[in-house]
Structure 1
């Protein structure tokens, strides 16, 4: 019994495996190559997939977020904060968010 368990675990412990075709289809964003397709070429930067917005909410207000492609951030208009996206992964830690309300107030003051 122990031999059988070890023989099943050994391939998993030897190294990373490519995800199945079904898992790869659902887990990878468009434009991102699967693990099996990667070669020794330089890694392309990962991009944020806007379809994830249907699942993501602000951890503080629990409200939906808006994706801003020009700054590569997720914006919460209500609180006036922006969460950065690094290598395609949103950093949803409130301490990592930057405030954007002050910038809007400054812009409005400059226009008047």
Structure 2
């Protein structure tokens, strides 16, 4: 079994918004997250799929 990383399709950014405050997101390729600076949250991307749940998001001040 190989550990293949599924890439995130950047075209999804056009359709996705932050579930907390409905603002645009930016993509952090290094951390594999979608970032909402307005909400102060980063949503994880797992196997190429954004997890857009507030409970799963990381607070940005946790850096």
Using the TM superposition, give the Cα deviation of residue 45 of structure 1 relative to its aligned residue in structure 2, in angstroms. 2.2
Using the TM superposition, give the Cα deviation of residue 66 of structure 1 relative to its aligned residue in structure 2, in angstroms. 0.3
One of 15, 24, 30 as aligned partner of 1:70: 30
Structure whose residues are more often strand by fraction = 2
Structure 1 unmatched runs, 5+? 1-40, 104-112
> Scaled by the length of structure 2, what TM-score is found?
0.88
> Scaled by the length of structure 1, what TM-score is found?
0.52
Task: State the Cα deviation string for residues 45-88 of structure 1 (Å, max 9, x = none).
Answer: 21101111000001111111000011000000011110000000
Distance 1:57 1:99 in 2: 17
Structure 2 unmatched runs, 5+? none
Instruction: Name which structure has the greater RCO, CA cutoff 8 Å, separation 6+.
Output: 2
RMSD (Å), alpha carbons: 1.7
- Aligned residues between the structures: 63
Q: Which structure has the bigger radius of gyration?
A: 1
